[in-house]
Amino acid sequence: MMNVLVAMSGGVDSSVAAALLRDQGHDVTGVTLRLWGGQIDSGCCSVGDVEDARRVAAQLDVPHYVFNLAEQFDDSVVGPYVEAHAQGQTPNPCVECNRSIKFGVLLGRAAALGFDAVATGHHARVRRARDGDLRLLRGVDAAKDQSYVLYMLGQHELARVMLPIGELTKAEVRAHATRLGLRTASKPESMDVCFVARDERRRFLDDRAPGRPGDVVDMGGRLVAHHNGIAHFTVGQRRGLGVAAGERRYVVDVDAVSATVTIGRREDLLRTEIPVRDLVWVGAPARGRDLTVQVRAHGQPAPGRVVAPDRIVMHEPHPRVASGQVVALYDRDELVGGGIAA
């Protein structure tokens, strides 16, 4: 049996993860991360979520602590999120939180405190293959699969990570929580960025990085509108363009240097290549062979292959991926690697 530190966000998934590990005989300690102390305190790990996690730990009769990582979170997640938007990119802060905080700072702190592993409530699975390598697989519940946001985990991290609910559907997780009488059994899921209140993203970004006004142009370079800042646009966006047209228009490009937003038809978005940066592999590199490429957390995977450390070629034209978004690579249900769209 192992000494496991369970990251308890105050939601049903991490609550059941702690319960399952306890029932398997592991020595379980719960920890909730205090990440955001700003004016908006919503989403996961808010004040209410910390209290829910504490009470669930008490129900399970396991120790519970709170780690204040607000400074690290601001430096590693919030700051880069604002800066990326100011550069015309579309970052995924939950991915950066996993990379820097949950499987960065927390994993390191757990090791320093003598824990054998860190567990979370992510819907994904870790399996050891016949060659001894660890594999990262999609969660059993395809609708709730979260392997996409874990693409950065390599062999070193996977050796010390446990994902107890990956074999369960969401319905089974809630049913288990109900059987145990856990207060989080029927708690709604948190779907928003945890440090930005619903419908407040524009104000949040404007307060921290005031935008530079610029032009909205069509594919021919003709001026069609003005804007107050590129942070409010993302490649592929259709709504909120401030342009009246007879047919749908989409953001095709965002140029941070000139503060220019280019719009066009959907077919103008289609590309056969995805430029990427910071490409990493879970195990052995899978360059040069057919994979499926997923560009949104619950997007439809499409066939393609990695032909260079900075380039993915799709088998069929695919809508352009916004710079800053995660590009995850799969071999059937196995996540083999990923990177960031350049």
Name which of 229, 225, 226 is nearest 203 in CA terms: 229
Q: How many Å apart are CA 212 and CA 193, to the nearest integer? A: 24
DSSP per residue, 128-159? E-TTS-EEEEE-SSGGG--GGGGTT--HHHHT
Count of beta carbons in the 10 Å neighbourhood of residue 314: 16
Q: Rounded to the nearest 5°, which phi and psi values hold at 306?
A: -85, 120
The reply to whether 97 belongs to the active site is yes
Rounded to the nearest 5 degrees, what angle is found at the Cα of 300, between the Cα atoms of 327 and 277? Answer: 10
Rounded to the nearest 5 degrees, what angle is found at the Cα of 302, between the Cα atoms of 301 and 304? Answer: 125
User: Which residue of the set 44, 45, 94, 97 is catalytic?
Assistant: 97
Sign of CA dihedral 139, 145, 146, 147: positive
Token digits for 62? 């396991």
Q: How many Å apart are CA 138 and CA 67, to the nearest integer? A: 29
- Helix-helix angle 201-208:79-86, to 10 degrees: 90
- Residue 70, classed as helix, strand or coil, is helix
Q: How many residues does the chain have?
A: 342
- For residues 2 and 25, the answer to whether their CB atoms sit within 8 Å is no
Burial 23-52 (b: 16+ CB within 10 A, else e): eeebebbbbbbbbbeeebbbbbbbeebbeb
Which amino acids are annotated catalytic? 97, 194
